[in-house]
């Protein structure tokens, strides 16, 4: 004798999305806390030279950038000093060689002790800047005990103007 079993239809229960907004906002807050937003408006143009052994710098919180190049704006502040037509930019302002030491002291004070130990000064210098200007900056860095210096460059074959 054959038995016929009535097949019950199984419905998929609805997905509970009540906790989804909480999860999304938790992830959003995590990324907001972890991300470091450092924006520097370039006041000088720099066309960095090309290099064959280019490496990326790690741990961006311990990197201090110094830009040297021609000014973008036609109106140059009165306190800015020209070095053979080139200017030094620290953070968001044009500066002189004498300002570098104070700038580095300020940046060091903002860093944790761990970052202070691995602080690296990244020089983003236009390829046409005379070496005498770069030597003067390096001398001030040495007097400020900023002994880890990085020269920014592009890989050969790439060209990047800012």
What is the DSSP pairing of strand 50-51 with strand 149-151?
Answer: unpaired
Determine, yes or no, domain membership for 28. Answer: no
Number of domains in the chain: 1
| CA dist 71 → 40, 84, 92 (Å) | 15, 12, 12
- pLDDT, tens digit (0-9, with 9 covering 90-100), for 29-77: 988 888 876 677 777 877 777 777 777 777 778 888 899 988 887 767 7
pLDDT band at 24, cuts 50/70/90? Answer: very high
Determine, yes or no, domain membership for 151. Answer: yes
pLDDT band at 162, cuts 50/70/90? Answer: very low
Full-model pTM: 0.68
pLDDT band at 161, cuts 50/70/90? Answer: very low
CATH of the domain at 135: 3.30.420
What pLDDT is stored for residue 43 in this prediction?
Answer: 79
- pLDDT, tens digit (0-9, with 9 covering 90-100), for 109-144: 998 888 888 899 989 888 889 999 999 999 999 999
Distance CA 118, CA 38 (A): 18
What pLDDT is stored for residue 75 in this prediction?
Answer: 65
Determine, yes or no, domain membership for 121. Answer: yes
Spatial CB neighbours of 148, under 8 Å, sequence gap ≥ 6: 118, 119, 120, 121
- Angle between helix axes 131-143 and 97-110 (nearest 10 degrees) is 50
């Amino acid at each position: 004798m054959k038995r016929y079993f009535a097949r019950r239809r199984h419905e998929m229960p609805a997905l509970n999305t009540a906790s989804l907004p909480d999860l999304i906002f938790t992830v959003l807050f995590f990324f907001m806390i972890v991300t470091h937003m450092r924006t520097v408006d370039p006041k000088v143009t720099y066309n960095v030279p090309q290099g064959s052994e280019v490496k990326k710098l790690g741990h961006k919180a311990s990197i201090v950038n110094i830009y040297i190049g021609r000014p973008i704006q036609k109106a140059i502040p009165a306190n800015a000093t020209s070095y053979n037509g080139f200017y030094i930019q620290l953070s968001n302002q044009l500066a002189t060689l004498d300002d570098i030491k104070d700038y580095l002291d300020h940046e060091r004070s903002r860093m944790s002790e761990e970052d202070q130990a691995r602080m690296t000064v990244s020089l983003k210098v236009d390829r046409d800047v005379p070496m005498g200007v770069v030597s003067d900056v390096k001398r001030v860095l040495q007097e400020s005990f900023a002994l880890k210096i990085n020269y920014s460059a592009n890989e050969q074959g790439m060209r990047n103007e800012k």
